[in-house]
Amino acid sequence: MLRLRERLARVGRAARPVPLTRRELFALPPLGGYRLTRRRRLNYYLNRAEYERGRTRLWSFPTRLIVEPASACNLRCPYCLTGAGEVGRPRALMTLDLYRRLLDELGDYLFEMELFHWGEPLLNPHVYDMLEMASARGIATTVNTNLAVPFDRARAERLVASGLSELTVSVDGATQETYEQYRVRGRLARVVESCRLLVDARRRLGRESMRLNLEFHVFAHNVDDVDGMRELAATLGMPLRIFKGVVPGEDWDTAGRFDYCVAPVPLPCIWLWGTALVSTDGGVLACRGGFQSADDMGRLAVRPAELGAARFRDVWNGPRFRAARGFYRRRDGDPTHVCFDCPNTRMWERWKAHYVAGGTKETFDPGFTLNGIWNYFWDRGRRPDRASAT
């Protein structure tokens, strides 16, 4: 097997109309909290070079991994597929055995690991062990949580001491009346007290580098709570992120008062080259939009001797991942593939035509907002009758 440096030299330069400078494309992840090793750095540069060139079969490994500690949730948020009662796969907790095997195969290459998906990660009692194991490998870790779970001083200390790089708490209302309209079954007072425990634990353990954030998704029903949330965040001593909430159908914010957390950009979906997601049942997905098991790119063994399962590297270069990357050269093939009709794929087609006609990034209209992209995955997640992935 070729060494990483030799592989990088063989990739060469692309001629694709990617509207990024090489400095932007090859800049190391800004999160921090990771240990920069030679192997990690070379794999990162190789990965970005393969992305730039549009390779479908990769020598590099992903630089970011998303794992799903729990596919269940304690709340019933109406605009979440899990909260809405859709069942994409059995409700379960990720086993430590599967998690260890992922770290053994990918840990030397990962800069960042995100431990959350469609469920509440803190429902898995092993999540503290998972964070400690990743931190010991020099991997930055992030968790998003509703924090509306049983929580106490001991749990707060364990979470802070795990080496966690960043924790974001979703709070969508400054009063219980507003909060529970979206965070159904949640108790705001419990969440606020748990935030205080985390802030105190971070101070006592001397982990000021650990980032603690509040995240507020603005909807029509809670738009009047923005100032109240700012006051709450200031009281807790936690930065507040305010984003426009996504909803089924048309954008609720017709006046354009708020921004989405992500704006579409005319790039081939870098997730297909740099990121993968592993669900509780071993299903490997291309991105957070995947919910149904039919969207899996392949499946890993939950237990080592399980039949019909694969190693991660086999799925990473398997037919479904390669097909998805190939859609950015030519969009043909299986129309039921989750990436085939993804707004990001169609946006890239629009960008190529715009570029050929002499257009620039500044004059490009993506044709989508984050709400439109989210609706694509929302609709797929609510249609369980699609054919299973092969």
Kindly state the tokens that stand for 46. Answer: 């190789």
Which residues, at least 6 apart from 199, have a Cβ–Cβ distance to it below 8 Å?
Answer: 212, 236, 237, 238
The confidence band for 387, taking pLDDT boundaries of 50, 70 and 90, is very low
Which pTM was predicted? 0.90
pLDDT digits (tens, 9 = 90+) for 219-243: 999 999 999 999 999 999 999 999 8
Instruction: Please tell me the distance from the alpha carbon of residue 102 to that of residue 88, in angstroms, as a whole number.
Output: 22
Select from 85, 8, 81 the least CA-distant residue to 49. 8
pLDDT digits (tens, 9 = 90+) for 261-311: 666 777 889 999 999 999 999 999 999 998 889 999 999 987 766 655 678
Q: What whole-number percentage of the chain has pLDDT above 70?
A: 88
Examine the pLDDT at 386 and tell me if it is beyond 50.
no
Residue 316 and residue 296 in contact, taking contact as beta carbons nearer than 8 Å: no
- For residue 323, the tally of other CB atoms under 10 A from its CB is 17
Q: Which amino acid is at 306?
A: E
> Which one is predicted more confidently, 373 or 117?
117
Residue 71 and residue 117 in contact, taking contact as beta carbons nearer than 8 Å: yes
Select from 207, 162, 154, 153 the least CA-distant residue to 69. 162
82-95: average pLDDT: 88
- CA distances to 73, 115, 208, 268, 374 from 139, in Å: 26, 12, 18, 26, 29
pLDDT digits (tens, 9 = 90+) for 16-71: 556 567 788 889 988 889 999 999 999 999 999 999 999 999 999 999 999 999 99
Examine the pLDDT at 85 and tell me if it is beyond 60.
yes
Examine the pLDDT at 251 and tell me if it is beyond 90.
no
Strand order of the β-sheet with 140-145 is 240-244, 211-218, 166-170, 140-145, 112-115, 64-67, 275-278, 283-285, 298-299
Q: How many CA atoms lie within 13 A of 283 on its CB side?
A: 26
Give residue 236's pLDDT: 98
Examine the pLDDT at 110 and tell me if it is beyond 70.
yes
> Which one is predicted more confidently, 344 or 140?
140
Give residue 214's pLDDT: 98
CATH number for region 1-145+262-390: 3.20.20
Give residue 1's pLDDT: 47
Kindly state the tokens that stand for 53. Answer: 């060139």
